[in-house]
Structure 1
Amino acid sequence: MDHLQTQLFNKLQQKEADMIAIRRHFHEHPELSFHETETSKYIAAFYAGKECDVQTNVGGGHGLVVDIHGGKKGPVLAIRADFDALPIQEDTGLPFSSKIPNVMHACGHDGHTAYMMILADSLIELKDELAGTIRIIHQPAEEVPPGGAKGMIEAGCLDGVDHVLGIHVMSMMPLGDVLYHKGPVHTGRATFKVIMQGKGGHGSTPQDANDTIVAASQFVTAVQTIVSRRIDPFDTATVTIGSFDGKGSANVIKDSVTLEGDVRIMKEETRAIVEKEFKQILDGICRTFGIHYELDYANDYPVCVNDEPTTEMVATALTEAHIPEIKQLVECGPQTPSEDFAYYAKERPSCFFFVGAHKEGTPMYPHHHPKFYIDEDCLLIAAKSMGAAVLHYLSKGV
């Protein structure tokens, strides 16, 4: 085990420059969810001629599944990396900034794919010494529901798989920290769009109109009582109105307003409570103001739940690996964003953990920000961390 780990880490160290070059290529050439044609081709070309089995266009999209068969029998472990970008105009000033207007890798998926490709390449070179099979899941479309994970699972990417692992690099966590949490680790999500339709009119004769601006404003305020008065204070839930489209003339009573937003929950049973109360408040306010509404309320990503034994295995592997680039291993608690890795975790015992990417003394920007930035030293840490977990799992299991 120690000898094999040393070999793997040496290979990763020697290929760190390649890892960074791949990441920068993806960063310069980002593609949006469900449109990652060239990204998928690049990944497929990387594996061409290597001793592995490659499936392309998995799930009817741009996903790839790469199987690395060890020289000895053993379990099947899937490790996943996503590769889609976001509709954001980059404002980092990096020499390898996005060349695509209004598209940017603002979440770190370019880094996920780069570290995973080099890790896979290194594991292929050591495959005869491995006991079991490693399935690399290169997943598109994490950012946009229904998400790429769902389609890939339906296409069979987890067939025969025993456990699943994944990593997210985090721009708001310190470089050198690797972080994990047992149990619910990412929120579940719902999104909604409400169109309120009333009767327009002139500001001088409000009695002849049904004002949707007033009704929508009442709704925005009232819907916050779901969290404050219907959810257990020890539970987690948010209701966000992210868009209020009611622009019009100063002296005209608007006949229609469109609201859009999202819901986050940390327990699946809370999801039904929020949806019921949301619809009840909406219906009541619209009845009160004598207006109609159209509602599109879509539940999408589930709560992402880390299997406790699998997560404990990862923590043990990282502790025993003594990776010099890791300063500390941290139990970080649950994280509020949502993540479609949750679909894998529903199907197989899984662990989704985090690698810090913020270098002390440099500006810090959150994910999905035009100035989003990760220190590229995090890539080697991610590769070694996942590599250590893979070797530990194949040799000792969970």
Structure 2
Amino acid sequence: MDIKNEIESRFEDMTAVRRHIHRYPELSFQEEKTKIYIYDQIKNLPLDIKRDVGGNGLSARLQVNDNYKTVALRADFDALPIQEENDVDYKSEFEGVMHACGHDSHTAMLITTAKILCAHKEDLPVNVVFIFQHAEEQLPGGAKSMVEAGVLEDVDYIYGIHVSSQYTVGTLGYSYGYKHASADAFTFNIIGRGGHGAEPHEAIDPVVASASLVQQLQTIVSRTIDPLKSAVVTTSMFNAGSAFNVIPTKSEVRGTVRTFEKSVQEQVMTRMEGIRKGIEDSFNLKCELDYVKGYPAVLNTDEHVDLLQETTSGDTDFITSVEEVETSMGGEDFAYYLEKIPGAFYNIGTKNETLGTDYPHHHPKFNIDEEGLKAGVESYLRLITGFREV
């Protein structure tokens, strides 16, 4: 297979796919037209396609040989509730919705990869399953329901890409061990007794109790968690009151917890429950805690990171650098796949400061240098054509 020629010859079509998806974004669990568009792109390929897998997901199997192992490649395709600020001709046509994380790019790369691999089916050393996943951005996540629907049946290994505006075009970023943290959410509802701001002794003030709560939450990591282990507890919302001279009845404190190890996650949850009880006793009011476990941590298999490096290093066409990159505390539901089978999740750089594609993910001006798509497809092609069991 002439990888360079295959990618170059399909680059215009790949960018057209990416721009179409970008122009018509759909939010998590609402991707009705996107899933049809993806199906139309692959329906004439020699694939066993399953639609509406676990919701709006699709899977497409390229069966090469019944005796071969099977490798899955995954892309997500949902958008975010953000108003786009880019001035491009493929700007989102939907008010308040945009592809601000690169999922349009992931899908375009995987569609292109499927087309190329199908054209060279007889030369492949493995069977391939292409997973087009809905709803990565919103709990409980499309990966969870797709796994429950059996998308990994008869699949041995899995790989996935996330584009990154942190790394320049041509960079492949890999990580051993944990790639992303678990992403949990918490909400404290503090219920006291409202009253006049001039007569605090007649009320039970939930604002003061909440202020104490926020301060105590900041001690969890510094005074409970082993300093050699990672955890983040962030209080991001504090809602209370409606007038300067009124003590409200209720207040709300919300935030997120990020951990890698489940034992550390349990420590945080236990300590939060202890703090909750203490607030109730100290301030003589009601304090409720709703803790929601989000996506698990993404744990790469070291042997498959080795294989990723082995197959994408050296004499490559569009991959200019293969680098070990920092682990992220951001969440990613690719974790559900890696809980079931071995594999790896990695980054492809799309940063180009000249083009202004260095805005962070989830920013209203997030965009990519589409030249980076070439390196993403190349990484998939080299992984599959050079695959060996590890």
* TM class by smaller structure: over 0.9
The alignment partner of 1:296 has SS state of: strand
1:397 is the counterpart of 2:389? yes
Q: Distance in 2 between matches of 1:14 and 1:247?
A: 60
Instruction: Please state if 1:337 is matched with 2:342.
Output: no
CA distance in 1, matches of 2:289, 2:271: 14
SS in 2 for 1:70: coil
Q: What is residue 241 of structure 1 aligned with on the other side?
A: 235
Match of 2:208 in 1: 214
Please tell me the root mean square deviation across aligned C-alpha atoms, in Å: 1.3
Distance in 2 (CA, whole Å) between partners of 1:192 and 1:381 is 38
Q: Deviations over 1:212-251 (max 9, x none)?
A: 1111111111101001111111211111112111141000
> How far apart, CA to CA, are the structure 1 residues paired with 2:88 and 2:184?
35
Q: Residue 154 of structure 2 aligns to a residue in which SS?
A: coil
Could you tell me which residue of structure 2 aligns to residue 19 of structure 1? 14
Q: 1:190 touches 1:299 (CA, 8 Å); kept in 2?
A: yes
In the TM superposition, 1:40-79 aligns within 5 A as 40-59=35-54, 61-70=55-64, 73-79=67-73
Residue 181 in structure 1 maps to residue 175 in structure 2: yes
Gaps of 5+ in 1: none
Task: Provide the rounded CA distance (Å) in 1 between the counterparts of 2:241 and 2:362.
Answer: 26
Tell me what 1:196 maps to: 190
Instruction: Identify the residue that residue 36 of structure 1 maps to in structure 2.
Output: 31
Shift of 1:296: 1.5
Structure 1 position 284, deviation (Å): 0.6
| 2:84 corresponding residue in structure 1 | 90
**One-letter code aligned to 1:30:** P
Say whether residues 1:346 and 2:346 are aligned partners: no
**Residues 59-107 of structure 1 deviation map (CA, whole Å, 9 limit, x = unaligned):** 1x10000001225741100010000111111112222111111111110
Question: Structure 1: which amino acid aligns with 2:12?
Answer: A
Displacement of 1:293: 2.4
Partner secondary structure for residue 276 of structure 1 = helix
- 1:72, 1:392 → 2: CA distance? 19
1:146 aligned counterpart, secondary structure:
coil
Is 238-247 or 311-320 further displaced after alignment?
238-247
CA apart distance, 1:179: 0.6
Contact 1:172–1:356 under 8 Å retained in 2: yes
Counterpart contact for 2:4–2:317, Cα < 8 Å: no
Unaligned runs of 5+ in 2: none
Cα distance, 1:286 vs. partner?
A: 2.5
Instruction: Select between 322-331 and 69-78 the one with higher mean Cα deviation.
Output: 69-78
List per-residue Cα deviations over 1:33-74 (Å, max 9, x = no partner): 111010001011111222111000001x10000001225741
Aligned residue type for 1:341: F
- What is the distance in 2 between the residues matched to 1:81 and 1:389? 16
Letter in 1 for 2:133: Q
Aligned pair partner of 2:292 in 291, 298, 313: 298
Q: Match of 2:242, as an amino acid? A: G
Task: Classify the secondary structure of the residue corresponding to 2:161.
Answer: strand
Distance 1:65 1:353 in 2: 21
C-alpha deviation, 1:302, in angstroms = 0.8
The separation in 2 between residues aligned to 1:311 and 1:223, in whole angstroms, is 36
Q: Which residue does the alignment assign to 1:328?
A: 321
- Give distance in 1, aligned partners of 2:80 and 2:196: 41
Q: Is contact 2:18-2:107 (8 Å) kept?
A: yes
Determine the structure 2 residue equivalent to 1:164.
158
Structure 1 counterpart of 2:69, one-letter code = P
Count of aligned pairs between the two proteins: 389
Displaced runs of 4 or more, over 3 A: 360-363
Cα distance between partner residues in 1 of 2:92 and 2:217: 39
Question: What TM-score results when the alignment is normalised by the length of structure 1?
Answer: 0.95
Say whether 1:380 aligns with 2:377. no
Counterpart CA distance in 1 for 2:52 and 2:234 is: 35
For 2:101 and 2:353, how far apart are their aligned partners in 1?
19
Per-residue displacement from partner, 1:154-188 (whole Å, max 9, x unpaired)?
11111111100001000122222111011111101
Task: Tell me, in whole angstroms, the C-alpha distance in 2 between the residues paired with 1:144 and 1:152.
Answer: 14
2:159 maps to a residue whose letter is L
Structure-2 residue corresponding to 1:356: 349
In 2: Cα distance, 1:260 partner to 1:173 partner: 32
The correspondence of residues 134-153 of structure 1 with structure 2, limited to 5 A, is 134-153=128-147
Aligned to 2:109: 115
SS of the residue corresponding to residue 160 of structure 1 reads coil
**Identity across the alignment (%):** 38
Contact 1:72 1:131 in 2 (8 A): no
Per-residue Cα deviation, 1:242-279 (whole angstroms, up to 9, x for no partner): 21111410000011111221100022211000111111
2-side partners of 1:324 and 1:133: how far apart?
Answer: 24
